[in-house]
Amino acid sequence: MATTLDTQTRKRIQHWLDGNYDENTKAQIRQWLADEKTEELLDAFYKNLEFGTGGLRGVIGVGSNRMNRYTVGSATQGLANYLLKTFPGQAIKVAVAYDSRNKSPEFARLCADVFTANGIQVYLFDALRPTPELSFAIRHLGCQSGVVITASHNPREYNGFKAYWTDGSQVVAPHDKNIVAEVKNIREVSDIHFDGKPELVQTIGSEVDAEYLRTITANSINPEVIRRQHDLKIVFTPIHGTGITLVPEALKAVGFTQVAVVEEQAEPDGDFPTVVYPNPEEEEAMSLAMEKARALDADLVIATDPDADRVGAAVKNEQGEWELLNGNQMASLIIYYLLQAWKEAGKLTGREFVAKTIVTTDLIDAICKDYGVNCYNTLTGFKYIAQVIRELEGKEQFIAGGEESYGYLIGDAVRDKDAVASCAMIAELTAFARDKGQSLFDFLTEMYLQYGFYLEGLQSLTRKGKAGADEIREMMAGLRSNPPATLGGVRIARTLDYLSLIEKDLPSGSEKPIEGIGIEKSNVLQFILEDGSKVSARPSGTEPKIKFYVSVHQPLERAGDFRKTFRELEQKRDAIFEDLIS
């Protein structure tokens, strides 16, 4: 074992064996040692769980690198300590929510216990709720912070802990790093206050639901269109997650009357029994919904992930076959529709803005430019979009935001991606298209005809454990020290290195700083090719992966050229991927 496990890992293992941890936990560790399960021990103890773009997230189980009573307790205690230091002498309030994952209710109750043991009042939802409602509740209830127990769309063995700040957004610098520092200062189990004070817990439920739903109905731009197209046939699946609690209700509230739920996936279940991976980005997870859509001759399929912050959609294409729309397409369609609707309603004054992440399609930038609306690009993670909203509050009006990973936000009542509000808006823009005699696919084609056909792609390489983390670091270092001269046969014109915050023009050798609201050092590297294609590389903040994003585009001359143009762009994109990963 000594030759396989590094010194720090062995120290963490021994600390857990010697510390005030429960006997079941220690028995598991001893069993791994006896069975020489060094790979399991390394993965469980090679590091402590840390906050990434999505907070704390890991496999449920024993170990410093796993989600369990002690890692969740440490995270909660660290957040509590930071809140007490940041708001001295104030009555601190925190909202706590959870999703349908295994151990989510227990971890949420544990958070409530630790917060109240530190004298902090807790608003605890009475049952599972979507993550965006937690974001809304923080601002609605005047809380200083909030926590939702979820691992979003990760596989069933995962759970997580997302921390939020006073404005309802996930924590950003300096708070994220300061909370991590507080967590690292907790070295013993005795540092965690587990004995909660029930009198400091207030249960919340339908009254917050009603206020949250009111903000969603207020987002509607064309209620008269919905009245005319109320019978739009919508198939919805929550994929065993929290979307079932509010998405059907939200669709009904804005006026849609023909919503069919996929019954096989309606029951919240942390084992996600009907899917391999509870992610609406995956066709397999959408298969039951599309099967139902075919049977009903539906107009739209929508699906939410376990905590209902991401939404996937499918539409009938020009051949009448069901086709998934990706996150870039849907984010662009939402912006395309909203800017049209705002202009027609006379609501564009020159002070409005849209926000997206740097790895999301530049089609959105083109649309915003056409309408004279500012488009701010942020680092990956919706917390940075929320940061732009916060810093521009009172100066510019936020319309919507999005990211390629199926997260969208309409209006600023919530400060995180919101699948509930997005489902309502996607249904509305589909009704808008239908009111003009178009399908949603026709609407997509119309957008491409006007602004060009943009095609994106994402490929991820998974590298688990400490060895995998080391390999990912080496890959990023190699791309920086020895970047390719060409990708897909096209020369690289510019590089943007978000670790050094330097943009470099390769032909001239000139450099300039990368600046923007919330822009800070991040391990992201971008190549801009001479033909305008964009390539991004970044390690995931929540999974053991390195991600490569590619975006290519060219004009779409006529609607009938859709498939031909798609194939041309696909070949161009795939040639770039081949150069990156080979």
Cross-strand partners of 313: 302, 325
Q: Is 262 helix (H, G, I), strand (E, B) or coil?
A: coil
- Is the CA virtual torsion 121, 125, 128, 132 positive or negative? negative
The catalytic position among 64, 104, 135, 152 is 152
Residue among 148, 146, 153, 168 nearest 56 (CA) = 148
Cα separation, 393 vs 226, whole angstroms:
30
DSSP classification of residue 539: E
DSSP classification of residue 68: S
- Is the CA virtual torsion 558, 562, 563, 565 positive or negative? positive
> 516 is written with which tokens?
């923007």
> What DSSP string runs through 397-435?
EEEEEEETTTEEEESSSSSS--HHHHHHHHHHHHHHHHH
Cross-strand partners of 312: 303
Residue 295's contacts (CB-CB under 8 Å, 6 or more residues apart) are none
Biggest alpha carbon distance in the chain? 72
The torsion angles phi and psi of 185, rounded to 5 degrees, stand at -75, -15
Residues 130, 424 contacting (CB under 8 angstroms): no
- Computed over its alpha carbons, how large is the radius of gyration of the chain? 24
Residues 439, 316 contacting (CB under 8 angstroms): yes
Q: For 308-362, where are the E strands, in sequence order? A: 311-316, 322-325, 352-357
Rounded (10°) angle between helices 440-451 and 363-371: 80
Residue among 67, 47, 70 nearest 56 (CA) = 67
DSSP classification of residue 52: B
> 548 is written with which tokens?
């490569």
* Catalytic residue status for 152: yes
Residues 254, 220 contacting (CB under 8 angstroms): yes
C-alpha distances (whole Å) from 224 to each of 351, 411, 561 are 26, 20, 34
Cross-strand partners of 259: 234
Residue pointed to by tokens 């998974």: 462
Cα separation, 200 vs 92, whole angstroms:
11
C-alpha distances (whole Å) from 174 to each of 86, 171, 183, 518, 523 are 12, 8, 14, 11, 17
As annotated, the active-site residues are 152
